[in-house]
Amino acid sequence: MDISVIIVSYNTSDLTVACLKSVFASQRVSYEVFVVDNASKDGSVEAIQQNFPAVTLIANEKNRGFGAANNQALRMCSGRFVIFLNPDTTAEPESFFLMANYMDAHAEIGLAGPKVFNPDGTRQDSVSYRYPGHRYGAVDLGVLPGNIACVLGACQIASANLLHEIGGFDEDFFLYGEDQDICLRIRQRGLEIGFIDDAVIMHHGGQSERDTIPAEVVRKKFRGELLFYRKHYRPETVRKLCEKQHRRAFWRIFLIRMQMPMMLDKKKYLGKLGRYQVIFEETAASTVL
């Protein structure tokens, strides 16, 4: 088996079906497909069972989080490579073949991602060269191989053996931050992160959170960032980062409230205000302050 594809779904039935249709399109590799459903309430499990009998379906009774769900299927994979694929993506017919070829040709690469497009055909920024808090935390990380810090978690390919060696995703990350964490851990083992320019996927983005209020999405993302800080940076670095974020959020909140009466588009500024209020609260509650 060349590739094991793992898709974690959560209330994205329509998108998961479209994703699976693209996966089962012409792919010039041998592959198996796993879907781990995190207790969806929108008929996802039934839709997969009825339309995709070749899928190995794991239906969780509760939402275990992104990393933990991927790890459930990872233990069952028989492919040489594993592709972690979000349910709000569709893959071009040649994508998996090109991704596997790239990995075979680059022994120095531990994990890689393809080129990513938005539904409107514009490019999505899928490659990061810095980790969260990098300005203060870079010295803590030391010298790492390659220049790519992370590729977007919407689609990643890695050697199955490597993933088993590192234990897959860190399940402390419930949602957000786990893609940066796994990329860093792979680089710490002496391997690089790669970008596969000729492989393409389309990514809707954020669809599993479409029913979550924006402030709570910000809170989840920021808690993932804080967890990344605490795991990889020294306590004094974490303290500096949190204090900086706390002060910045305070002044942003102050300025937005001062400007609000003069703004015509108050909805936009209320969104910004909510984002900074979350950051202010989360850093104030941090035990490192």
For 181-194, how does the pLDDT look when each residue is reduced to its tens digit (9 = 90+)?
999 999 999 999 99
For 207-233, how does the pLDDT look when each residue is reduced to its tens digit (9 = 90+)?
656 667 777 888 899 999 999 999 999
Give yes or no for a contact between 276 and 253, defined as CB atoms under 8 angstroms apart. Answer: yes
Question: Averaged over 152-169, what is the pLDDT?
Answer: 97
Residue 281 lies in a domain: yes
The total of structural domains in the chain comes to 2
Residues of the chain with pLDDT > 70, as a percent, come to 95
Residue 13 lies in a domain: yes
Q: Where on the phi/psi map is residue 19: left (φ > 0), alpha (ψ -120 to 50), or beta?
A: alpha
Cα angle, residue 70 at apex, residues 133 and 155 outer, rounded to 5°: 65
Q: What DSSP element (H or E) covers 110?
A: strand 109-117
Residue 226 lies in a domain: no
User: Is beta strand 89-91 parallel, antiparallel or unpaired with respect to 109-117?
Assistant: unpaired
Token reading at 147: 């220049």
Shared-domain flag, residues 25 and 65: yes
Shared-domain flag, residues 39 and 140: yes
User: Is beta strand 3-9 parallel, antiparallel or unpaired with respect to 31-38?
Assistant: parallel
pLDDT at res. 286: 64
Q: Is the pLDDT of residue 289 over 60?
A: no
Q: Alpha-carbon distance 65 to 61, whole Å? A: 12
Among 6, 11, 14, CA closest to 31? 6
Q: Is the pLDDT of residue 237 over 80?
A: yes
Range of the domain at 279: 234-285
Task: Indicate the pTM of the whole model.
Answer: 0.91
